[in-house]
Amino acid sequence: MSTVEIGLTAIGVFAFALSGALMAVRKEMDVVGMFVLAAVTAVGGGLTRDLLLGLRPAALQNPWWWLIVAVATLIVFFFSRVVDRLRRAVLLCDAVGLGLFCATSTTIALQVGLGQLEAILVGTVGGVAGGVLRDVLAGEIPSVLRRDTQLYVVPAVLGCALLAVASTTGLDGGPLIVLAGAAIAVVRILALWRGWKAPAPRPGGRTVR
């Protein structure tokens, strides 16, 4: 990883860990539960990706990820109200993490020989699986599946597709990962700002946009 990629990964791991620890606070869990939800959120996507690809989990090769998770857990443990008030900043960091994890997961899938469509699927899973696992463990319907959630999976899929298509032109490496990750983050941030949501049916059959 380049210095930029390491920095963005650290931001993403930290933001995801914060969101997991905050969920644990809302569910009235103790510090152990906070760490578990923080860890699952932060590294769950990468673990799922590596298991799908038959690779040694990156989380086991980067012990500093776990240190970041521990720091995020302690911050929320002592300053949960302050962190909750900074929710917008956490969501912005989360968008950056989503973009980077989707882009890196797609790149890794392509590097091991998967086709474009399969790489897009793996890339999307790498970005969103941590949040899904967090919500399931917390007894919630995964936020990415709820109608009240601003676009999350859609920008992930679009960004992964952009990267997969660009890879066929011979472009690759860190700059492409950053570009695709930035595209995902920008669409996600715009969705948060503008309130964009995926269409959903009304109980009576009409479609909600």
- List pLDDT tens digits, range 25-51: 889 999 999 999 999 999 999 999 999
Please tell me the total count of domains within the chain.
Answer: 1
Instruction: Tell me whether residue 207 is in a domain.
Output: no
Q: Any bridge partners for residue 201, and if so which?
A: 207
Instruction: Tell me whether residue 75 is in a domain.
Output: yes
Instruction: Tell me whether residue 86 is in a domain.
Output: yes
Q: What pLDDT, on a 0 to 100 scale, did the predictor assign at position 205?
A: 56
Q: 130 or 89: whose pLDDT is higher? A: 130
Instruction: Tell me whether residue 206 is in a domain.
Output: no
Q: What pLDDT, on a 0 to 100 scale, did the predictor assign at position 5?
A: 66
Structure token digits, residue 182: 């930035």
Q: What are phi and psi of 104, to 5 degrees?
A: -70, -35
The mean per-residue pLDDT over the stretch 175-185 comes to 87
Instruction: Tell me whether residue 62 is in a domain.
Output: yes
Q: What are 71-87's pLDDT values in tens digits?
A: 999 999 998 888 778 77
Q: What pLDDT, on a 0 to 100 scale, did the predictor assign at position 207?
A: 57
Range of the domain at 181: 3-201
Instruction: Tell me whether residue 57 is in a domain.
Output: yes
Instruction: Tell me whether residue 15 is in a domain.
Output: yes
The mean per-residue pLDDT over the stretch 153-167 comes to 92
CA distances from 55 to 59, 61, 128, 131, 142 (A): 11, 11, 19, 21, 26
Instruction: Tell me whether residue 32 is in a domain.
Output: yes
Q: SS3 of 208, please?
A: strand
Whole-structure pTM value: 0.86
Nearest Cα neighbor of 154 from 188, 177, 122 is: 188
Q: Please say if the pLDDT value at position 15 is more than 90.
A: no
- Average pLDDT, rounded, for the chain: 87
The mean per-residue pLDDT over the stretch 99-123 comes to 92
In angstroms, the CA 7 to CA 23 distance is 25
CA distances from 204 to 93, 197, 207 (A): 37, 19, 9
